[in-house]
C-alpha cells in the first residue's frame, strides 16, 4: 500500500517551503478520487473547502505567520461529526434528509486551528452500532491489508483511510471499542481517551454515558500531537468541562522507568487466537512484566455494558423505530428493537454494577500504572464470517469482536491500542490501559515499545 509521509513530517515540509499545502491537498483529493471506489472509506469529500483552507495556509506562510503544528495536513472524520455545510448522516439513510450542519464539531474546529485540512467524512456502521463497517446504505469498507477481510468498526472508514494512506490521521468514536477494534484489525494506533477528556460537541452520539471521540494514526508522534490539539474544556459538552489540557507529546521521550506495568488476566486472558497470545506474550516479555492482575466479575461488567448501550441507543432512536423501522439497516434495527424492550430494572441494575466495577478497578490502579491486554481476539475476519470461536464455544461475530474492549469503555478508562505486525501475518492490536486522566503513561509505554522495535506498523 502507498504510505505518504506522516503528519508531522508533512507539516514540517510545508512550513519549510519544500511543499505547498495546496499541492498536498490536491494530491490527496486526486488519490481519494482514484482509490476510494474500491476502498469505500469516504462517504463525502469536502474538496472546495479543503482547497480554500490549503490556500489560506500557504498565504499565512508567505506572510511569515505560524500556520500551526499540523499545517496543511489532510485529515478526515467519521461521518457522525458535524461538518459545516454537510449533512451529518451517522451511517444512516434516515439522516440523509436532515439539513446541513450549521457549524463544525469542536474536534474539527480545534484541528483546523492547528492547521489541519479537512478533506471529507468516512464510512461507519449505522448509528455507530457495530464492529464491522458493513453498512446496508453506504456499503462495506474492506480492510486495506486484505480486501476480503473486515476493517472493523464502527469507525472502520476512519481506520481504513489511514491504513490505506489516503490521510495521515483521522477521527473516530468509541462506545464499546469502535476505535480500538478497527485500529487493531487495520494495524494502527487508536486512542480512546478518558471519558470526558475530549469534547463530543457536534458529534452524533450513540450512548451518551459511554461515548468517546479519539484519533487514529500510523505514527505515535502524530497521534500524540492530534490528541493534544483537541484537548481543553468545552462548555458545549457537559462532560468536557472539568480539565485543562495535559499534553502528552513531551512524554514520548520519558521512557518507562518508575512505571508499574502488569498484565490483565481472567476474562482478558481467555478466548484469543494463538497468534494474539504469542504477540501479547512478546509485549509482556519486552516490558519484563512479572505481575498479572484481574478485574472481578468482568463478564458481568461486559453484559452490563451491553445492556446500557442497548437501552440508551434504543431510546435515542425510539421515534424513528416507531415510524420508519424499514429505513434502518436491518442488523442495526433488530438490536435497537431488542434494546427498547429491556426492562428499566435491568438498566438500573446494570448501572449499579457499573459503579461497583469502577470502584474495584480504581483499587487496582492504586498499585499499578499501566495494564496490557489484547485488543481483539483475532486478526481481521473474512467479510462473510458471522461467528467467532472463543474457548471452544461459537458466538456471533459482530458483538464479540469487542470481547476485550467493552468492559474498559464501560468505566471510561483511557486506552491506547498499539499495532503489532509480524511478517506474513495480518496486524494485531494490544491495549495499554491506565487510570482516568493518565493518558501520558500510555504514550510513555507505547513510545518505549516502538523504540525497542516491539510495536511495528
Q: Which of 15, 20, 22, 78 is catalytic?
A: 78
Q: Is-catalytic flag, 452? A: no
Q: Which of 170, 173, 178, 219 is catalytic?
A: 178
**What is the rounded distance in angstroms from the CA atom of residue 214 to the CA atom of residue 193?**
7
Cell of 349: 441494575
DSSP 5: P
Separation in Å, CA 302 to CA 14, 126, 182, 213, 309? 46, 22, 19, 20, 11
Separation in Å, CA 430 to CA 115, 264, 444? 31, 11, 15
Q: Is-catalytic flag, 15? A: no
- How far from the centroid of its chain's Cα atoms is residue 76's Cα? 13
Separation in Å, CA 34 to CA 5, 16, 27, 363? 19, 29, 11, 52
Q: Are strands 189-192 and 212-217 parallel, antiparallel or unpaired?
A: antiparallel
Cell of 284: 509482556
**What is the rounded distance in angstroms from the CA atom of residue 245 to the CA atom of residue 227?**
10
Q: Is-catalytic flag, 78? A: yes
As a 3-state breakdown, the chain gives helix, strand, coil percent values, each rounded to 5, of 40, 20, 40
DSSP 267-331: GGGSS--HHHHHHHHHHHHHTT---EE--TTHHHHHHHHHHHHHHHHHHHTHHHHHH-GGGS-HH
- Nearest CA among 132, 126, 125, 104 for reference residue 46: 104
Please state the length of the chain.
457
Q: Which of 15, 20, 22, 154 is catalytic?
A: 154
Which residues are identified as catalytic? 78, 154, 178
Amino acid at each position: 500500500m502507498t504510505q505518504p509521509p506522516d503528519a508531522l513530517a508533512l507539516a514540517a515540509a510545508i512550513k519549510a517551503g519544500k511543499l505547498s499545502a495546496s499541492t498536498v491537498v490536491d494530491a490527496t483529493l486526486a488519490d481519494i478520487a482514484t482509490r476510494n471506489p474500491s476502498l469505500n472509506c469516504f462517504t463525502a469529500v469536502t474538496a472546495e473547502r479543503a482547497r480554500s483552507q490549503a490556500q489560506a495556509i500557504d498565504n499565512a506562510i508567505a506572510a511569515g505567520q505560524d500556520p500551526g503544528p499540523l499545517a496543511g495536513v489532510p485529515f478526515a472524520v467519521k461521518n457522525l461529526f458535524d461538518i459545516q455545510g454537510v449533512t451529518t448522516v451517522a451511517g444512516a439513510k434516515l439522516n440523509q434528509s436532515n439539513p446541513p450542519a450549521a457549524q463544525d464539531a469542536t474536534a474539527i474546529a480545534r484541528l483546523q486551528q492547528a492547521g489541519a485540512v479537512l478533506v471529507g467524512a468516512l464510512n461507519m456502521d449505522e448509528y455507530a452500532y457495530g464492529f464491522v463497517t458493513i453498512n446496508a446504505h453506504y456499503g462495506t469498507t474492506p480492510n486495506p491489508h486484505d480486501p476480503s477481510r473486515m476493517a472493523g468498526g464502527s469507525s472502520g472508514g476512519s481506520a481504513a483511510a489511514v491504513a490505506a494512506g489516503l490521510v495521515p490521521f483521522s477521527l473516530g468514536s468509541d462506545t464499546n471499542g469502535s476505535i480500538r477494534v478497527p485500529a487493531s484489525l487495520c494495524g494502527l494506533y487508536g486512542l480512546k481517551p478518558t471519558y470526558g477528556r475530549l469534547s463530543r460537541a457536534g458529534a452524533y452520539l450513540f450512548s451518551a454515558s459511554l461515548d468517546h471521540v479519539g484519533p487514529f494514526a500510523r505514527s505515535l508522534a502524530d497521534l500524540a500531537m492530534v490528541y493534544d490539539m483537541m484537548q481543553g474544556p468545552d462548555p458545549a459538552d457537559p462532560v468536557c468541562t472539568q480539565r485543562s489540557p495535559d499534553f502528552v507529546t513531551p512524554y514520548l521521550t520519558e521512557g518507562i522507568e518508575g512505571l508499574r506495568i502488569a498484565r490483565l488476566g481472567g476474562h482478558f486472558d481467555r478466548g484469543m487466537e494463538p497468534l494474539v497470545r504469542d504477540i501479547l506474550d512478546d509485549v509482556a516479555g519486552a516490558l519484563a512484566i512479572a505481575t498479572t492482575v484481574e478485574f472481578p466479575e468482568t463478564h458481568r461488567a461486559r453484559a452490563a455494558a451491553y445492556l446500557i448501550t442497548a437501552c440508551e441507543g434504543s431510546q435515542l432512536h425510539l421515534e424513528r423505530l416507531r415510524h420508519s423501522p424499514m429505513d434502518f439497516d436491518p442488523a442495526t434495527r433488530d438490536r435497537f428493537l431488542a434494546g427498547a424492550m429491556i426492562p428499566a430494572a435491568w438498566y438500573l441494575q446494570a448501572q449499579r454494577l457499573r459503579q461497583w466495577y469502577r470502584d474495584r478497578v480504581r483499587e487496582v490502579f492504586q498499585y499499578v500504572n499501566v495494564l496490557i491486554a489484547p485488543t481483539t481476539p483475532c486478526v481481521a475476519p473474512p467479510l462473510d464470517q458471522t461467528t467467532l470461536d472463543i474457548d471452544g464455544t461459537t458466538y456471533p461475530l459482530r458483538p464479540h469482536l469487542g470481547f476485550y474492549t467493552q468492559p474498559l469503555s464501560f468505566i471510561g478508562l483511557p486506552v491506547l491500542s498499539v499495532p503489532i505486525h509480524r511478517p506474513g501475518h495480518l496486524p494485531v492490536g494490544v491495549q495499554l490501559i491506565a487510570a482516568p486522566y493518565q493518558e501520558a503513561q500510555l504514550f510513555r509505554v507505547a513510545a518505549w515499545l516502538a523504540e525497542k522495535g516491539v510495536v511495528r506498523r
